[in-house]
Amino acid sequence: MIRKAVLPVAGFGTRCLPASKAIPKEMITIVDRPVIQYVVQEAVAAGIRDIVLVTHGTKSAIENHFDKHFELEASLEAKGKTELLEELRAIVPADVNIISVRQPEPLGLGHAVLCARPVVGDEEPFVVLLPDVLVDDEGLSRNDLAGMISAYEKTGRAQLMVEEVPRELVHKYGIVAPRGDEPAPGQSCELNGVVEKPAVEDAPSTLSVIGRYVLPGRIFPMLAETAPGAGNEIQLTDAIEQLRQEAGVDAYRMQGKTFDCGHQLGYLEAILAYGRRHPRYGTGFVELLQQYAAEED
């Protein structure tokens, strides 16, 4: 079983400015909980039990969110606010560990993942989840991360989660080149590589990499030897390409839907999607949407 997940959360969140000037971008809320909590819940639902946060000294709010707040819990209990107390205690299930390591300077995603090496080790596979992206698995019997982990366990090959995008937008994404036919949703296939932001006429597919990876521990020595690339940063994609050449890498095609919460419109769309079905606020939220739509008419 794959039980460890690495979440790189040390970045400045410049795409979310000015909201992220004083608040970590991962702590910006979708309805009633921060983005990072949804991502951790996604990992936990897929069987992950050790969450490794690769963080920075300015991101203590993230660690505090997942820590126990004894005084607050005692106050809620004394006031009889049982439902709210249970919500707080459910942020991190009792059998899940939150582990923090520091990325001392911003040297790229590959370097951020490498910072988790002392915790994960070189001998076992692990997952990487980029917290800018929410993966909505509403209505699925198991979430896409669990499906991708299952694909790794069957093949032994690293997995990149991919999502179909309109062909006219492929120039905005890393696009995979499948070896043979594209996989059906919920399936994976081997790759011939990944092309970064190709021109529409040159794109090998319409499947974009979305920020979910299942990787073997052997990628850590590769990252340690990876020379800085674009922006003088250690690129995770460079190590994945080396891994592909040596052992093969697959693309797992997701069944759900993503929201890029690092972009303002993606963030607003996520609020619409999650707000409409919220068990407490959903009905009222839909009524508000209808009210504003009527005013526009």
4-295 CATH: 3.90.550.10
Residue ranges covered by each domain of the chain: 4-295
pLDDT at 44 (0 to 100): 97
By three-state DSSP, how is residue 280 classified? coil
191 close to 222: Cβ distance less than 8 angstroms: no
**Helix-strand-coil percent breakdown of the chain, rounded to 5?**
40, 25, 35
**pLDDT tens per residue across span 138-189:** 999 999 999 999 999 999 999 999 999 999 999 999 999 999 899 999 999 9
pLDDT at 241 (0 to 100): 94
Quickly count: other Cβ atoms within 10 Å of residue 208's Cβ: 24
- Output the average pLDDT for the chain: 94
d(CA 242, CA 277): 43
The answer to whether residue 296 scores a pLDDT higher than 80 is no
d(CA 16, CA 21): 8
46 close to 11: Cβ distance less than 8 angstroms: no
The answer to whether residue 295 scores a pLDDT higher than 90 is no
- Please state the rounded mean pLDDT for residues 207-233: 93
Rounded percentage of the chain residues whose pLDDT exceeds 90: 85
pLDDT at 39 (0 to 100): 97
pLDDT at 14 (0 to 100): 81
d(CA 99, CA 62): 11
The answer to whether residue 230 scores a pLDDT higher than 80 is no
The answer to whether residue 249 scores a pLDDT higher than 80 is yes
**Confidence at 127, pLDDT banded by 50, 70, 90:** very high
d(CA 120, CA 114): 10
